[in-house]
Amino acid sequence: MRELIAKKRDGGVLTREEIERIVRGYVHGEIPDYQVAAWLMACFLRGLNDQETLALTEVMAQSGEQLNLSEVQPPTLDKHSTGGVGDKTSLVVVPLLASAGISIAKMSGRGLGFTGGTVDKLESIPGYRTALSAQQMIEQVKRIGCCLAGQSEQLAPADKKLYALRDATATVESIPLIASSIMSKKLAGGARHLLLDVKVGAGAFMTTLEQAQNLAQTLIAIGKGAGRIVAALLTDMNQPLGHTVGNALEVREAIETLTPSARAHPRFRELCLQLAALGLQLCGLEPSESTAYQRAQHLLDSGAALDKFRQMVKAQGGDPRIVEEPDRLPTAPIVHPLTAPSTGFIQTVHPRQIALATVQLGAGRQKKEDTIDHAVGVEVLKSVGEPVTQGEPILRVHARTEASLQAVLPLLQQAILISPHPVEPPPIVIRKMYE
């Protein structure tokens, strides 16, 4: 191991066998964490080439259980978002694509830090089970076409162990290490097609377009190297996505977006449609961007996607009545509006400040062991570019206690800037990236 650390430290290229020796040795307790930490720092400083990154990804994917989707009706697809504020797209896109005949067994994570987790959002639905075995997931996909569950403990255990070490040794912010972590779980998920949503901006882990583009290119290269068909959207995260940040609030907004007669947030709806259209194209179900987009629109507007969401909730033990009666979702006892201090146009809705306030209210975790309050959160009533008059509500805070409400008000007041001049809203999709 000492020689392998020195080889990487000095800019050498590790073979697949050498990477396998390190990863397996660490997982089985044969190599101490201080040596693996030194190796990770060498990788962080020297980088990994495409072959090393692919090898690391595949070794981590093979370190535990892998979903065998051979019994499932093709095409199979998995979706991944790099995480953002108010990102509830999976709750809409998964049932939407399943209603088109695509099989999706999607495993999602919990929130940590300023970004929310899909599993926490789903658990705000009364009775919804996120802990499913691999076989239960496969059986459900065979029956109704989709499944949204928590990540299995047996899936890519090497990644979990290495990520904890990276977190403790300041080696998280490395594109090859981030990409191999993401893709190890996607490869273990077994799908042939991978749809990626790479967020960029103040409310994302990748704050610059260059970082996001590098990550997307690395993710696509890994997927291609592993024999998968991959595409990515680079999407804007300089303001919260949609009207809501917080678990039950986001589930409610996802249901509104899926409901044909309801008024959805235009930016959020547009992102869901563009992701779904790309998924349809990726799987070869539509020949062009325009026909794929039209089909995605039809599936959303006809109620087919909502019906699939209802089936999924019921199949996983959740109360399907939340679709027609969203008030069955948890609600906070205190709802407090924040009003505009002046007339003008919304210039900034700072996503990270909104997210940090939401975490402080109890909707997210500051430590892994923290418990989530599913009812609390923030409604964002105005988006960038929209006109506003003095005294008009711009945010609505859903809090458990008066003390927690008062604690976040200063942070939320700083999160919104109003310009006296018109402001051009940024596009939600910045770029499409293919193989």
Read off the tokens for 61. Answer: 């994917």
> One of 78, 87, 120, 159 is an active-site residue; which one?
159
Could you confirm whether 398 is annotated as catalytic? no
> One of 8, 63, 78, 80 is an active-site residue; which one?
80
State the Cα–Cα distance between residues 416 and 316, nearest whole angstrom: 39
User: How many C-beta neighbours within 10 Å does residue 225 have?
Assistant: 16
> One of 166, 193, 267, 269 is an active-site residue; which one?
166
Could you confirm whether 185 is annotated as catalytic? yes
Could you confirm whether 181 is annotated as catalytic? yes
> One of 81, 108, 174, 181 is an active-site residue; which one?
181
Could you confirm whether 8 is annotated as catalytic? no
Could you confirm whether 166 is annotated as catalytic? yes
> One of 8, 79, 161, 185 is an active-site residue; which one?
185
Q: Which residues are marked as active site? A: 80, 159, 166, 181, 185
